[in-house]
Structure 1
Amino acid sequence: MRVLLSSCALVTALGWSALSSAATLDVAFDIPQVNTGKNARPYVAIWAENQGESKPLLVWHLQDKQDEWLSDLRRWWRKIGRYDSHIDSMTGATKGPGHYNERFEINDWEKFTLYVEAARENGGHSLVKTKINLLDDTHQYHIPADTEIGNITIKVTP
């Protein structure tokens, strides 16, 4: 009986620790209007990195088998894109200027760096990041605007 109770306590503790590291990230960002030259819609990638491991969350691109500009998301391409043949499961078409909200589940990491990268065909490139620690009391993060991506607000719900 003592072994059964110890086993139940261990399973419960493991279950609670797994639940405590699960979090929802609400990422709100803007794609700015560009008024110079050709105004192509940007490619956008959002992913998390922790100790050399990468977790892809979102990729917006042309969704064409001949999508030659996908590698313009340079860091994402080096870390994930050229290796991951399953990116279609999280992709969407490029989007024009506006405000966007995306929700992601992070279930396996307590600390990580969230990256947002945007690039336009014949245009600029932006790569921004922030460190996120699900164990501290910070529930909102801000990343200032860059050339191809507007201000980013990340809300964490444990």
Structure 2
Amino acid sequence: MSLTLTFALSGLLTVPAYAGELNINVEVPQLNVAEYHRPYVAIWLEGADQKVAANLSVWYQQRDTAEGHGTKWLPDMRQWWRKSGRTLKVPVDGVTGPTRPVGKHALKFTDKQPQLAQLAPGQYTLVVEAAREVGGRELLKIPFTWPAKGAAQTGKAQGSSELGAVTLTVKP
């Protein structure tokens, strides 16, 4: 015996349309050291369960040197590597890019981009991790709610060594 069910969904199912935007500013500070190397930086979102919800950006050395290829040191960003990095096949279009020089770097993500398109409403944490050869490691976190409802949300974290100020603005 077989049973066939047919559903008509004309106008019965409505899915709320969420719109949103993340604006992130990451400062790479000037360090007064004898041997300076640009930091590797990973920027991602964690859900309330502390699992990676989206990789936003990963900055690393993309060319070969006498010391090898830059992917060799991606595991130095320990938190990101354990949670997500080791399963990624880099480069990832729209996510990975070269290391950045000293200064402030602005990133903008909209709900139309793959990183945020499937992000369910809820509580998240922006995580920024930096590691530098002949330097240290630093991890900063900023909690937020996605999507922002009404007014924009802002958050800030201040690094003490490898990162400067990191700011987040979540716009509806």
Place the TM-score, normalised by the shorter chain, in its bin. Answer: 0.7 to 0.9
1:74 to 75, 78, 94: 78
TM-score normalised to the size of structure 2?
Answer: 0.77
SS at match of 1:69: helix
1:36 maps to 2:33: yes
- Report the identity percentage: 34
Q: Between Structure 1 and Structure 2, which shows a larger proportion of helix residues?
A: 1
2:127 equivalent in structure 1: 115
Structure 2: tracts of 5 or more residues without a match: 1-6, 111-115
Letter in 2 for 1:88: V
1:93 maps to 2:98: yes
Q: Pairwise CA RMSD of aligned residues?
A: 2.1
Partners of 1:104 and 1:33 lie apart in 2 by: 26
1:46 equivalent in structure 2: 43
Deviations 1:44-88 (A, max 9, x none): 110011133431110000124732211111111111111111542
Partners of 1:74 and 1:64 lie apart in 2 by: 21
Q: Is the 8 A contact 1:49 1:55 kept in 2?
A: yes
1:149 maps to 2:163: yes
Q: Is the 8 A contact 2:25 2:166 kept in 1?
A: yes
Partners of 1:28 and 1:46 lie apart in 2 by: 11
Deviations 1:104-150 (A, max 9, x none): 23332322111000111110111011211135655111112231111
Q: Is the 8 A contact 2:21 2:109 kept in 1?
A: yes
5 Å-filtered alignment, 1:100-139, equals 100-105=105-110, 106-107=116-117, 108-110=119-121, 111-134=123-146, 139=153
1:140 equivalent in structure 2: 154
Stretches of 4+ aligned residues off by more than 4 angstroms: 135-138
SS at match of 1:121: coil
Per the alignment, do residues 54 and 37 of structure 1 end up closer, same or farther by CA in structure 2, a change over 3 Å counting? farther
Partners of 2:167 and 2:88 lie apart in 1 by: 27
Letter in 1 for 2:107: E
1:55 equivalent in structure 2: 54
Partners of 1:49 and 1:7 lie apart in 2 by: 36
How many residue pairs align between the two structures?
149
Structure 1: tracts of 5 or more residues without a match: none
Partners of 1:87 and 1:112 lie apart in 2 by: 25
SS at match of 2:143: strand
